[in-house]
Amino acid sequence: MLNFDEARFLRIQSGAVALAAPIHAAIGAALAQGGANIFFLGTGGAAILMQPAALMLQRRSGFPAFIEIAAELVAAGHQALGPQSIVVIPSVSGTTSESVATLEYCKARGATVIALVGNVDTPLGRKADHAFVNFAEDDTSSESFYVQSLLIALSVMAHRGEFAGYDKTVAELATLPGHLVAAKQAFEPEAERLAEAFRNEPYHIITAAGGSWAEAWYYGMCILEEMQWIRTRPVHAADFFHGTLELVEKGVSVVVFKGEDAYRPLTERVETFARQYTDKVTVLDTAGFGMPGISAETRALISPVILATLLERLSAHLEVKRNHPLTTRRYYKKVSY
């Protein structure tokens, strides 16, 4: 595979799965000490990657779960944040200024802070009540953060007696890194084909629903826009027919991410519509990749993980075909803002 270090990838994703036990212990301790709600408070892309876990808690658990824009919470506060709160802050670098400010704000209000970082010797790693460390970089962090946040949500539900299949699901997740490598290998020829098709495309409408919506938003904003300077319009599949549909015509690229959860029909509706009015419809469907031993229930939970791992292959080919390295920036961490 192009520019891919399999051993490195397996080490990082196995590291994420291996955090299951310490995460379960930390969540148990926080709940035992009176934890009454949970906040997911990342910044930028890392915040987006927390959405599937937060969504699952909001819709399947009685435990109050909030996912907020960290800078807004610090600016205006939140009536539910206090000593009874568990706060999750992800940051690969552990130094993101908005995230460090969020940690300090939450700690000052007595919350228990869990940091997900790539290096413990960082402001977030040092100041959090619980720091879970798994080294990753941009090309491997999506899967790692998706898995870690999923483990947090599953642990909350398991401790509350809301998820009887916790041990089974964690056991299945332990096999995930190898399955992800196999998915990358299977997708590699298609990734190169799509990169060739996308290399000169100026604009994409990207859509998804449920847990996969986070990946549509993330890939459009953090990869195509930030790392490739390609304009995108991420739009939730449920909102597609309330505005964005009027932009669809021949020659407009519509990219549909299809997961395996209950929200899949929402994306299928968009796909059916788009195929009638544009000749540029791309569908990434996680159901096309076999993962023996992983149940349908778990597959529904990891659809965004699978999408992220496939899209990394597209990104690897895009940067070569467009002669635009994924590390190239004009403004991000280059100028003062």
Domains and CATH numbers, the chain: 6-173 (3.40.50.10490), 182-321 (3.40.50.10490)
Instruction: Look at residue 278 in the predicted model and tell me its pLDDT.
Output: 98
Q: Is the dihedral of CA 159, 165, 168, 169 positive or negative?
A: negative
So what's the pLDDT on residue 307? 98
Please list the alpha-helical segments (H only) found in 18-84: 20-32, 45-48, 51-60, 70-76
- Note the pLDDT tens digit of each residue in 269-314: 999 999 999 999 999 999 999 999 999 999 999 999 999 999 999 9
Summarize pLDDT for 93-133 with one digit per residue, the tens: 999 999 999 999 999 999 999 999 999 999 999 999 999 99
Q: What are 161-214's pLDDT values in tens digits?
A: 999 999 999 999 999 999 999 999 999 999 999 999 999 999 999 999 999 999
**What tokens appear for 105 in the block?**
């704000």
Give this prediction's pTM. 0.97
Burial (CB count <10 Å: 0-12, 13-18, 19+), residue 253: buried
Which pLDDT band, with edges at 50, 70 and 90, does 35 fall under?
very high
CA distance 314 to 188: 8
Beta bridge partners of 231: 203
CA distances from 187 to 246, 259, 290, 314 (A): 32, 16, 12, 9
For residues 154 and 146, give the distance between their C-alpha atoms in angstroms, rounded to a whole number: 12
H or E element: which one contains 113? strand 112-117
Quote the CA–CA distance of 314 and 304 in Å, as a whole number: 15
CA distance 27 to 291: 29
The rounded distance, in Å, linking the Cα atoms of 189 and 86 is: 43
Provide the pLDDT for residue 309: 98
Q: Which two tokens stand for residue 34?
A: 């009176």
Instruction: Note the pLDDT of residue 162.
Output: 98
Q: What is the mean pLDDT of residues 220-231?
A: 98
CA distance 170 to 156: 13
Residue at token pair 């599953």:
154
For residues 27-48, give the mean pLDDT: 98
Q: Say what the pLDDT of residue 337 is.
A: 85
Distant-in-sequence, close-in-space partners of 82: CB < 8 Å, separation ≥ 6 = 109, 110, 111
User: What is the pLDDT confidence band of residue 238, given thresholds at 50, 70 and 90?
Assistant: very high
Most distant pair of Cα atoms in the chain: their distance? 58
Indicate the pLDDT class of residue 66, thresholds 50, 70 and 90. Answer: very high
- C-alpha distances out from residue 48 to 9, 142, 174, 232, 241, Å: 21, 10, 24, 16, 23
What span, in angstroms and rounded, lies between the C-alpha atoms of 140 and 45?
13
What is the spatial distance between Cα 184 and Cα 148, in angstroms, rounded to a whole number?
Answer: 21
Q: What percent of the chain has pLDDT over 70?
A: 100
285 strand-pairing partners? 258
- For residue 238 the two structure tokens come to 């449920």
Paired tokens of 205: 């409408």
Separation CA 279–CA 246 (nearest Å): 15
C-alpha torsion angle, residues 108, 110, 111, 113 (rounded to 10): 60
Contact 144, 136 (CB under 8 A): yes
The token duo for 135 is: 């080294």
Residue 190 token pair: 């298609």
Q: Are 120 and 131 in contact (CB under 8 A)?
A: yes
Question: Do 66 and 42 form a contact (C-beta atoms < 8 A)?
Answer: no
Query: Across the chain, what does the average pLDDT equal?
Result: 97
Region 79-101 average pLDDT? 97
